[in-house]
Amino acid sequence: MKRFRRHGHDSQRDKLKQELYQFNKTVEHGFPHQPSALGYSPDLDLLAIGTRSGAIKLYGAPGVEFMGLHDENATVTQVHFLPHQLELVTLLDDNSLHMWTLRAHQGVSELLEVGRFTLTGPPGAPPSVTRVTTVLAHSSGELLLLGTEGGHVFVVEVPGFRELEERNISVEDVQARIPEEYAPRRNLECVEALQEKPLNPRQVLIGYGRGLMVLWDLDRQCAIQYFLGTQQLESVWWMEDGEHILSSHSDGSYCSWSTTDGDVQSQPEKQDTPYGSFPCKAISKVLQFPTKQGPPFLILSGGMPRASYGDRHCISVIHSKTHIALDFTSRIIDFFVIREGEQHTGDPSALVVLVEEELVVVDLQTEGWPVIQMPYLVPLHCSAITCSHHVSSIPLKLWERILAAGDLQNTHYSNKPWPINGGQNLAPEPPQRDLLLTGHEDGTVRFWDASGVCLYPMYKLSTAGVFHTDADPNDNLNQGAEGEWPPFRKVGCFDPYSDDPRLGIQKIHLCKYSGYLTVAGTAGQILVLELNDEMAEQVVSATVVDLLQGQDGFRWKGHARLDVQEEPVSFPPGFQPFALVQCQPPAVVTAIALHSEWKLVAFGTSHGFGIYDYQQKNVALARCTLNPSDQLAMEGPLSRVKSIKKSLRQSFRRIRRSRVSMRKHQTTNAAKLQEINARLEAEALQEMELAPVQRRIEARSSDDSFTGLVRTLYFADSFITDSAHNTPSLWAGTNGGAVFAYMLRLPPVERRMDDPVTAHQAKEIQLMHRAPVVGLVVLDGRGVPLPEPLEVAHDLARSPDMLASHHLLVISEEQFKLFTLPKVSTKTKLKLTAIDGSRVRRVGVALFGSSRVEDYGENSLVVLTNQGELHVISLPAIKMQVHHPCIRREDVSGIASCVFTKHGQGFYLISPSEFERFSLSARWLVEPRSLVELPDKSTLDPSKARLRDDGRGYDGRGVRGVSDNDNSARHVMEHALLNDEKVLQEIQKSLEGDGGQMGHGDNNIKIPQANILSNGDHCFYTAHQ
């Protein structure tokens, strides 16, 4: 039977699809996973973070964000901005240097990689000769000084990466004038530090690992002064006057040296060990800043007494009589200080510290040195994320009340504004207010403003106070004991340890119209909360629900339930619990649904489901869904003992059954076998002809474990018993492919508090393939999903069509099936079968608006499979519209964490601390659009002299001889190549300059084919060799 395609209709539909659907990964929210390097540009007021995976991320004012990715899967070890320019240089642990630039294109800046370079030594030289250990970006903006493991310093011209051999500083040149009596002279070790002298950029201080420091004149090519340190050197720091140097050492001391006391100094002016005479850890970095009034700020990392506090991650801040050791919960990567004034030469205003799990900014101008709240880079994983829930279009009143409750929690933060404000945020204002709620392992729920590019923390709810836990209420982590030495102060919010894993939040549901919130946890607890603007003290009593319903033969082997506080608990303003449901057995809650108009909460576990009336505070329904084979459901997620015997027994049973069936087939006569095979082949051929894109579904055994686990719950006002009367109902889908429908009888409003809510089973559907049911949706007479509770009452949705027949859409892991109501007969289905492993993991309903016609939109299903692919399926036709690969199939946690929005966007975890945001909508898109420009040249420091002596022009952006008008369009999709020869010639020209004589180091320049990471036009850049 041939199919005839209506070409005109198809082309019109394809055009409409382009107006509705467009896939983009737009922005990464949260804190970069495994950071490894930190950089800061005072001129551009931009922060840069490099990671172990080779990513480089730039941040300025809130909303100003850029991301680039090195081709090499190598760790970024250092990031350096070129002074007074839009360029930065990264050093990777494979010893390669990479040049990046922020180039404006169509009014938006893009982060582009424009060159790479690797040092090469003389033939036969060991790798240590050219292994780069430290980089100095010279204030002229035209030179890089590269210190190496072998003790040499190479001078490289940028942006062309041309090695200036005649300016290189060899270790032999340095050793020539060292006094003979200086013991480490024969082995200086690696170059640990390179620092330019203030007020005289032609002189550079070189610090060697064994303790020697040398002041080198770049013009005269000779050493001016020697500082003969004998302790292992960690870092150096110039004082502002250019007459004193600080050096920090591996024994926990720091020294002060004078540059006015002669050519060779064997002893420092001053030596101090801040934390006593006992053996101390190394001071890895030391800084000192003068103040207009009073003593200087001394800031150093490390130096703790080795035996007592060797495991602490500390930065000490000393100013006048104030001495505080800032104690972080993860390893310190690097830190810098932001100073006041246009030239950034005023008093220190903020200390910015990058640690392994968060970024912390300390206000140095407010008494007590409080922390400044972050507008971005907030560690989402302060406690591990266990679930998430997105709510679109929050009403303004609810939004303001949540913000007000959050403000009361932030009184310990500084009132100072965020100090990093580089670039201009050109992204349009978000059209609506969106909330992302994340549940955490420690029993907290965090509310995030997810409306725009920055994921901003609004409010934190803690549920632990309702229960007895092992936490000590008098334990104050923020303040050390009076008179304690060292004077520790805990800073940062990263705390990966949970008092009790049973507190973990597993499901969240917020009604944005009523302000009711339901959260469910790991130990079968369901809390119902309401928003209160005042503090309240109340007892939260638990209503216990027995989901086993007296079934014999089951014994719970998992964790015990949480003990509830019996005395009144004080709750701060915000969401306050007023009802608690405790499931027995206390298994993980796997599904919840909230209907705030009916004042009902439905909940499900691996044992069954129930309905709780939170107005009357009693249970309206408890239904056990356990199958006799569901013994594994009795062990719980925290049980360490798995039923190995049962697994083996099931395996042997399957083998035995297969052998029996084989014997039966052998005894069957050949003619009957041929007849059956022919019939099966004909049916399979017919199925292929009718649906060539669909694949066969594999049936599942009813013996599979966890068949009774409840996967989804859904309240609907629809036709259950007959087509004339619509009634409230609850639908429940299980892991075994069963769907239960219960008709609910709600008392009239005037008797709502007196008469009970009753539930009666009306329908039961068993899918033949027994695949888990992951979603349920009822469509009204127009084929539109039923509105949310109270949505129609607030005039935010049309009333559902109750005249035409309704339909039930059952989404299992393997297919989509549409049933008519109330008869429950199959109308249509779409198969996604398990032959190639493709199964539905996440599903949501979204409205896709047209990018061309303002008032046109379509409701569709958004589906994520276990292959990491996104599918959009039309409603009510149940036809595939578009599909896109989104997540790697190996990223199981990323797929499991995905959450969809009501407008075709979504979030998933790309690491424990980062959400990737994506959009399938052509109309609604949230992405960074930023512009970074150089500050007015009149504000630049005129003392920064140029060291170039060849007279060639330089345009200030790091590209010689290339004007803005010469830049052609470069927009490509993620990791794609741009093969435009003109663009490649421009890049080559910018790297080679005007074709002058090049040193031998230029053979290592690799000109990338241009791939672009656009900040405004959703393109990414990587350089391909």
- DSSP secondary structure string for all residues of 682-708: HHHHHHHHH-TT--PPPP--TTSTTTT
* Tokens found for residue 300: 């150093």
Residues 580-603 as b or e (16 or more Cβ within 10 Å = b): bbbbbbbbbbbbbbbbbbbbbbbb
Q: 35 near 333, Cβ under 8 Å?
A: yes
| Residue that is written with structure tokens 């066969």 in the block | 696
- DSSP secondary structure string for all residues of 847-866: EEEPSS-TT-EEEEEEEEET
What's the CA gap between 85 and 142, in Å, rounded?
10
Q: 725 near 615, Cβ under 8 Å?
A: no
pLDDT class of 767 with cuts at 50, 70, 90: very high
* Amino acid (1-letter code) at residue 43: D
What's the CA gap between 237 and 173, in Å, rounded?
23
What's the CA gap between 952 and 961, in Å, rounded?
9
pLDDT of residue 483: 63
pLDDT of residue 969: 31
pLDDT class of 122 with cuts at 50, 70, 90: confident
In 384-521, the DSSP E strands lie at: 385-391, 424-425, 435-440, 444-449, 456-462, 488-490, 505-510, 516-521
* Amino acid (1-letter code) at residue 468: H
Q: 27 near 1014, Cβ under 8 Å?
A: no
pLDDT of residue 836: 61
pLDDT of residue 343: 77
Q: 3-class DSSP state for residue 571?
A: strand
**Rounded to two decimals, what is the model's pTM?**
0.84
C-alpha dist (Å) from residue 196 to 238, 346, 901: 8, 19, 52
pLDDT in tens, 536-552: 999 998 999 999 988 87
pLDDT of residue 657: 53
* Tokens found for residue 387: 């679930």
Q: Average pLDDT for residues 760-767, to the nearest whole number?
A: 95
Instruction: Please count the CA atoms within 13 angstroms of the CA of 856 that sit on its side-chain side.
Output: 10
Share of the chain above pLDDT 70, in %: 81
Longest CA–CA separation in the chain, Å: 109
Nearest to 1009 by CA among 973, 971, 989, 981: 981
pLDDT in tens, 510-567: 999 999 999 999 999 999 999 999 999 999 989 999 999 888 778 888 999 999 999 9
What's the CA gap between 44 and 101, in Å, rounded?
12
Residue 496 clears pLDDT 50, i.e. is over it: yes
Rounded mean pLDDT of the chain? 84
